[in-house]
Copies of this chain bind each other. A is one copy, B any other.
Amino acid sequence: MKKNIHLSTKPLEIQTCRDFASGNSNGAECIFIGTVRNATQGNAVHQLHFECYESMAIKEMEKIADQALIKFEILTITIHHRVGTLAIGEIPVIIAVGAAHRSAAFDACQFAIDTLKETVPIWKKEFFEDGEVWVSAHP
């Protein structure tokens, strides 16, 4: 399997992503793991909530994987994104790329997370002690 896309309300698992990304022709795997930070611009974050436009989000994630497989010399790409409510330290996103050589793995993984943050219809709300805010929504 060359690509594996998943939107999940359950905790993401690195080993599951690796299982898709690994293969005997790989010499290199690059894995990006996003985690919920305990602060944004100095304000303590208590939890996050992710919502998504599910059908379109999956389509956009598929597009990113397809583009990565064309643009870079990689063998596999896995993109898993979590939705729902996450606590500090939990994992909203894992991207795992397998390739014969490492530079393609790094480049494709970075391309995938950069593009995901620009195009995939998923929205993050941060909860602080004194309020909540949709990230990046307002100037």
Instruction: Tell me the A residues contacting B by CB distance below 8 Å.
Output: 14-15, 18, 22, 24-39, 88-89, 100, 102-103, 105-106, 109-110, 113
Inter-chain CA distance A101–B38, complex, in Å, is 13
Cα A102 to Cα B109 in complex, Å, equals 11
Offer 27 A-B interface pairs, CB within 8 angstroms, sorted by A: A14-B15, A14-B18, A22-B89, A24-B37, A24-B38, A25-B38, A25-B39, A26-B35, A26-B37, A27-B35, A27-B37, A28-B32, A28-B35, A29-B31, A29-B33, A30-B30, A30-B31, A30-B32, A31-B31, A31-B32, A32-B102, A32-B105, A34-B102, A37-B100, A102-B113, A103-B110, A106-B109
- Chain B: CB-nearest residue to A110: B106
| Contact, CB under 8 Å: B89 / A24 | yes
Measured CB to CB, the closest approach of chain B to A24, in angstroms, equals: 4
Q: Which chain B residue shows the least CB distance to A91?
A: B29
Interface hub of A34, A35, A113 (most chain B Cβ within 10 A): A35
Q: What distance in Å separates the Cβ of A31 from its nearest Cβ neighbour in chain B?
A: 4
> Complex Cα distance A19/B118, Å?
29
Considering the chains assembled together, what is the distance between the CA atoms of A32 and B103 in angstroms? 11
CA distance A103 to B54 in the complex (A): 27
CB distance from A33 to the nearest CB of B (A): 4
Residue numbers in B under 8 Å from A25 (CB-CB): 37-39
